[in-house]
Amino acid sequence: MKNMANSLVLHERIITTPAKAKVVKPFVEKIVTLAKSDTMAARRAVFARLRDKGSVDKLFGILGPRFAARPGGYCRILHLSKPRLGDNGQRVILEFVERSAKAETEKAAS
């Protein structure tokens, strides 16, 4: 769960299975709620859960201020129509609701 949460924070969007996304979503939303208040106690609590300095810095520098006015619901799950190759498993996109400008330009380019 920590690895998926770190990937979601760093890349702001991941592709995974529905079961994994449903487990990771509340974990990440609680961490983003902690990141909305930039205190030493909140930083330590987030670092205790993620154990990655880069993710913590991005949470408190970019994602926390971005979601400061939002009361909750920071992530969404979008179901993909194409199944995974190999085992025909379902796939979903787990992403933040408000994306960065860089992510929007990458999405438009592809």
pLDDT, tens only, 22-56: 999 999 999 999 999 999 999 999 999 999 999 99
Predicted pLDDT at 45 = 98
- Tell me the fold of 2-109: 50s Ribosomal Protein L17; Chain: A, (3.90.1030)
Residues 13 and 96: beta-carbon distance below 8 Å: yes
Sheet containing 13-16: order of strands: 13-16, 92-96, 75-79
Predicted pLDDT at 100 = 75
Whole-number Å distance between alpha carbons of 23 and 39: 27
> Using alpha carbons only, what angle is made at residue 2 by residues 19 and 103, rounded to the nearest 5 degrees?
80
Q: Quick check: helix, strand or coil at residue 29?
A: helix
Q: What is the pLDDT of residues 57-103, one digit of tens each?
A: 999 999 999 999 999 999 999 999 999 999 999 999 999 999 877 66
**C-alpha dihedral, 14 to 23 to 1 to 17, nearest 10°:** -40
Q: Quick check: helix, strand or coil at residue 33?
A: helix
The residue ranges of every structural domain in the chain are: 2-109
Residue 104 confidence class, pLDDT cut points 50, 70, 90: low
